[in-house]
Structure 1
Amino acid sequence: MSALSPLDRLMPRGYIRQMFCFPSTHKKISHILKAGLAGVVADVPYLLAGIVISEDRKHISLGESYQSLEDLYSEQDFSDTIDYAFIKQQHFPPSAFTVPGIIPPDTQPPFPNPAPVFRARLSLVKGGFILCVAIHHCTTDITGFGSLLKIWASHCRTGASTAAGFNPTWLNRKVLHERFNTSYRPIPASIPKLLHVKSPDDLARLPASASQPSDLTTGIFFFPQKTLLALKRTVNQHVISLDAKNWVSSGDILTALLWSAVLTAESESTSDGKDSSTIGFPVNFRSRFNPPLPPDYLGAAFIMTTATALREDLISLSSVASAPTNDEHLDSASISRLANISSIIRASLHSVDEESVRNALLYLEAASEDHPPITLGPRHDGISIVSWADQSICGLDWGDILGTCDAVRLPKLTYRRYPIVLPRVPANTDGDGEGLEVIVSFDRQIFEKFRQNWPIKQLSTLRCYS
């Protein structure tokens, strides 16, 4: 059994959970999924284990296997309740996934102890099926979750006893210990910049449904890839004109736009008198080592970082006064602001290198049991923006019987949730182009302000909301 790494133990003590929508109605759907999952368990045996939390809740570990395949996988029939063609026509609204029982058991609070590492539930609906998969966050991050789904899809596609391309090194959590052996590397004397000690403010930022407004709206916005690429060309022309060595990605630009829209929407209700705003976002560091970690490493391999920009620039970017006449021709002031904010985000991403990650891991490894609670990333102002864009789930081939999924969804949320960029949507036969979907959850008033900001109104389409 592979023990959790110090980084794994800092992950949220809950589940990464996603809903996958498939149009297949083949009678062997359940058989293929279950047989494929048996192959996944053979490759990744700790899926049968549980996450154990000590009585004082200070210590967390990966326990022994105590489950069978029957515990991991369940199914039910919602064909009289959910019509696939109808919810597809509505772009799979979050409210469609709130039917009691659609989420696997034991993956919603209060969690049992031990809490299962993995659960999956198949819901058969009229004209298709929905697969809800949940994995404990203390065993992986979103990239590792995507890798696990690739393993499952490979077994379903080929029927082979081992997933195509699977390598046992993906399971080796000791790799983070081995890279940073403290016998020849000095332990940082003070807490590294990519970590901080938890404060009451950190606890206040955690979602808590009991303290949230009752009129929350969960919405999904679609940003066409062609729009983002056109914006990227325009912004990079400005960036390169200032420094030929610099550039920004379409992901940096989308993060800047979402940051601007969120801050502007909340500015009246959360004005704190600060001249700047600081957001947090995760960075996958698998490729930043030399040699790199396996791209499909299944443990947690992300660290949080922050970016800080002037509130005036962020709010001006979303103001009506600077709104362009169309989505391809921004005025020069807007281009300059967007380029500056995107460059700040890019610089923050670049700052997460092997040295900074090494210092964080060394510190975590050496931290004493009585050390004050540590959390990932420098402190920020509460806004976090997460991207699942590279998870590559929508184009994943699950074989002739299952096919590919049409959409990745979360149920309607019962708490505030800052933007999550969902897995990239490929072009499809219905005529919809490639692009990125973004899900948010705000109280109704903030949601309306968010959707009316020009980065959202001009560059995206509101696909659905609940």
Structure 2
Amino acid sequence: MDSIIDNPFLHVGVPETLKCIHPLSAVDQSAPRGYTRWMFIFDFPEVSAETTLSACSCIKRGLDFVFEEYPFLTGRLGPLHHPVKKNLIQLRYNDTARPDGLHWTSYENTSGYDYLELCKAGMDVSRWSIPHFCAAPSFVEMSEWPPAFTLQATFLKSGALVLCFAFHNSVVDEWSISLILARFAMGTRHPEPIPKAFVYRPPDISQYVDHGANEDFDKFPEWAISDSIEVEEAKSDPRPSDLRTRIFKIPTRNAENFWVAMRCYLREAHIPEGVNIIECLSALVWVFITRTEHGYPETQETGMKLFIPVNTRSRLLPPLTASYDGNTISIAEFAHAAVRIHKAKRTIDNGYVRRRLAQLDQLNEPMEAVRVFENETKFGTKLSSLDIGAELEFGIPGAGDGLDGRARWVRKPWVHSRAVNILPRRQGGDFEIQVCLEERQLELVRKLLEKKWFTTKGYTYPSSYRRR
């Protein structure tokens, strides 16, 4: 973004204690202005004043490790005036007086909070409300200066500890989140400070932006506006209250057998692409979603799109450092099967990413990109398959006994748009796929999946639960 963002005379209504500025790039400015939440659920068999205090002390130490490495996460986001561009935001923080950072609470063993019953039901947490389990606001108003990051620890007296991390989308992407969680786990495991992994420097991607470039949205797959025929054939976007979430579970052996069968088929068809197991599972679910919406895609010119996030740090030339903590995700779209998913990811190269950065940089209102993308995803499905935190050994006292301090469950709670999430899994564990669709279609997808490789665990919950 323009250097004018660093002009202190243009900051309006800034909280007086927030003296430091963390720069936000054109990509950050055009990210959806909400939170990405990840929930880690641990066995915590003895919930008492003593064990709770010990666990909270350890969690705070983990936060200290995080804030030392990423001081801007203690900050808040607010509006930024610009003489030309509209609807910009800024991130400000105080590097000398850090907040406590941890919110915690506990719940009795009542309906909806019985850990054993929740485990039996597959731990679908979409029934829980945001205010009860997450410290970040449900609705984000930039004029209220919402936090860049929150962490809430919730103790269920039925025997569980729930950690809910919330990261504002304008500050970090999910690849950055994985680094932050690893740093947090490092802090909870070690009672003494250890050397930092790298020295914090404000992010800068200006070298990759060609300020003279100017392309339209339709040159990029994730912003390609659906033509009138496809929009008319597609169902209208369901209201949040019409959406339901369900978790499908597939045993590891079934998934591996399916992967082998897929690769054998591709070899026999003389298709050399080397697809991985996640691409195969994603393709299976996506094909069934498409069939319940449009029939069999191979017989039609139009169909549902699949939007796939791609970490572009290594796609740029020269590569962007892995420790870069801003947003760099591009979206590969449209897959009829595993090979097309695989190929779509490969299309995101240095040239594509640089063109995309230039296009975002020249927008007078960065949120225009969000509106166009959200309009496009009304007629498609978003996929997330990032393996975040399932193998992290947190070492929180009393939590994760028998699992080497790891969480028993990792969840992405409160999904409220058409989405498929391949949930993080421990090595050797079963695959879990969280699907959010309109209720009628979700039931059709369930029947197709259960005829093939999947079993379903848990219940189907309305998205409206998330705000109660």
Q: Who is 2:28 aligned against?
A: 8
> Of 166, 172, 177, which residue of structure 1 is paired with 2:206?
177
Q: Who is 1:305 aligned against?
A: 332
TM-score (norm 1): 0.77
Q: Who is 2:408 aligned against?
A: 406
- Confirm or deny: 8 A CA contact 2:30 2:366 kept in the other structure: no
Structure 1's unaligned 5+ residue stretches are 310-340, 428-433
- Confirm or deny: 8 A CA contact 2:249 2:457 kept in the other structure: yes
Q: Who is 1:78 aligned against?
A: 107
- Shift of residue 67, structure 1, vs aligned partner: 10
Change in 2 beyond 3 A, CA 1:168/1:242: farther
Q: Who is 1:363 aligned against?
A: 359
- Confirm or deny: 8 A CA contact 2:255 2:431 kept in the other structure: no
* Equivalent residue runs for 1:278-317 within 5 Å: 278-309=305-336
- Shift of residue 95, structure 1, vs aligned partner: 5.0
> Percent identity among equivalent residues?
21
- Confirm or deny: 8 A CA contact 1:285 1:303 kept in the other structure: yes
CA distance in 2, matches of 1:197, 1:394: 35
- Confirm or deny: 8 A CA contact 2:41 2:161 kept in the other structure: yes
- Shift of residue 464, structure 1, vs aligned partner: 1.2
Change in 2 beyond 3 A, CA 1:29/1:425: same
Count of aligned pairs between the two proteins:
414
- Confirm or deny: 8 A CA contact 2:246 2:436 kept in the other structure: yes
Q: Who is 1:327 aligned against?
A: none
Superposed CA RMSD in Å reads 3.6
- Shift of residue 87, structure 1, vs aligned partner: 1.9
- Alignment of 1:217 onto 2:214: no
Change in 2 beyond 3 A, CA 1:368/1:263: closer
- Alignment of 1:40 onto 2:66: yes
Q: Who is 1:23 aligned against?
A: 43
Q: Who is 2:441 aligned against?
A: 446
* Equivalent residue runs for 1:27-426 within 5 Å: 27=52, 28-54=54-80, 58-65=87-94, 69-70=98-99, 72-81=101-110, 82-95=113-126, 97-98=128-129, 100-109=131-140, 113-126=144-157, 127-162=159-194, 166-168=197-199, 172-174=202-204, 176-178=205-207, 180=208, 182=210, 187-188=213-214, 192-193=219-220, 196=223, 211-213=239-241, 216-243=243-270, 245-267=272-294, 275-309=302-336, 341-365=337-361, 367-369=362-364, 373-375=368-370, 382-391=379-388, 393-399=389-395, 401=397, 402=399, 403-411=405-413, 415-426=416-427
- Confirm or deny: 8 A CA contact 1:107 1:134 kept in the other structure: no
Change in 2 beyond 3 A, CA 1:99/1:390: closer
TM-score (norm 2): 0.77
SS where residue 334 of structure 2 aligns?
Answer: strand
CA distance in 1, matches of 2:164, 2:366: 37
- Shift of residue 114, structure 1, vs aligned partner: 1.5
Change in 2 beyond 3 A, CA 1:389/1:435: farther
SS where residue 445 of structure 2 aligns?
Answer: helix
Is 229-238 or 7-16 further displaced after alignment? 229-238
CA distance in 2, matches of 1:137, 1:42: 21
- Shift of residue 45, structure 1, vs aligned partner: 0.7
CA distance in 2, matches of 1:443, 1:101: 25
CA distance in 2, matches of 1:189, 1:109: 30
Matched AA of 2:41: C
Change in 2 beyond 3 A, CA 1:194/1:159: farther
CA distance in 1, matches of 2:142, 2:115: 31
- Shift of residue 54, structure 1, vs aligned partner: 4.7
CA distance in 1, matches of 2:102, 2:183: 16
Matched AA of 1:281: I
Change in 2 beyond 3 A, CA 1:128/1:279: closer
Change in 2 beyond 3 A, CA 1:21/1:368: closer
CA distance in 2, matches of 1:96, 1:388: 22
CA distance in 2, matches of 1:102, 1:181: 40
Change in 2 beyond 3 A, CA 1:85/1:294: farther
Matched AA of 2:203: R
Change in 2 beyond 3 A, CA 1:382/1:219: same
- Shift of residue 86, structure 1, vs aligned partner: 3.1
